[in-house]
Amino acid sequence: METKIQKRKLGNSGLEVSAIGLGCMGMSFAFPPFPAKKEMISLLHAAYERGITFFDTAEMYGPYTNEELLGEALAPFRKDVVIATKFGFKIVDGRMAGVNSHPDNIRNVAEESLKRLRTDVIDLFYQHRVDPNIPIEDVAGTVKDLIAEGKVRHFGMSEAGANTIRRAHAVQPVAALQSEYSLWTRKPEEEIIPLLEELGIGFVTFSPLGKGFLTGKMNADTKFASNDFRSMLPRFTPEALQANQILLELLQKIADNKNATSAQIALAWLLAQKPWIVPIPGTTKLHRLEENIGAANIELTSGESGEIKSALGQIKVTGNRYTEEMEKTTGL
């Protein structure tokens, strides 16, 4: 199946990527069971063959195994793809143990990630979560030095608040912010999107399909394994899944009119918001990958976008996206 995806530029950075990227976290982290490595290498190759040039990973995913997977899979066409990875967590005995954006740790993560990714430069290096103990100017300054040394091309931030982004950007231009944004997580519209527009920063949106909910395949009876990340999130309780079905009904109605799927409409809606927004849906299945890529060719009319927007105004999403403890590490 030959599909070519248009390219988008992430803000003023000049960094050009496919309009839809691939979030690789679920291949080895958060959503077990994980497929065999060989299968995921085939999937990553299939993504590249179909026009995806933007791949997202992090030291934390695994930890470490996700970067190793991408390093091996993308080696044959490394020069033709953009790999984003992240620093900023403290990892103890293979588990997340708080945040750590100390300059020494940033440098150490960069060196180790370069090895695992089998590359001599990280295209986009995100601070995974803001570290309240380290001035953001020190973080941006450290990445600026890594850019000067040729080890990193672009600086990114994830889930940072507006003031933090502005302060970091003054030291080293931020190429992209990566945060959650979708039809059911629209908080970035209040403060973040206007700021990104003002500063010329791209917006890479994770969980654009609401961790699977917006595909329309979940209901109150959906069960998650105890080691599935979603099992602890307020928005995935049976009550919340039931209450939020109203959003899926709206999506399905528009999807039927466009001869598309709910997931494709959810992604097309994001692409229609701004020309510098790039969603990175994750999947471990080829048919889902092809479905997601198909969203890049769906144009929503202003009427359809307006219909979605006004309907969203009537719908109150039930359940917080994270637990209170998890929310403490985000600046949104």
**Active-site option among 48, 61, 126, 181:** 61
Cα distance between residue 285 and residue 301, in whole Å: 30
Cα distance between residue 327 and residue 93, in whole Å: 23
Neighbour-count burial of 190, counting CB atoms closer than 10 A to its CB (0-12 exposed, 13-18 middle, 19+ buried): exposed
The closest of 257, 274, 255, 275 to 266, measured between CA atoms, is 255
CA 47, chain centre distance (Å): 16
SS3 148: helix
Cα–Cα distances (Å) from 111 to 141, 169, 194, 275, 304, in that order, read 17, 23, 34, 33, 47
Are β-strands 174-180 and 202-206 bridged in parallel, bridged antiparallel, or unpaired? parallel
Q: Residues with Cβ < 8 Å from 187, sequence gap 6 or more?
A: 332
181 catalytic residue (yes or no):
no
Residues designated catalytic: 61
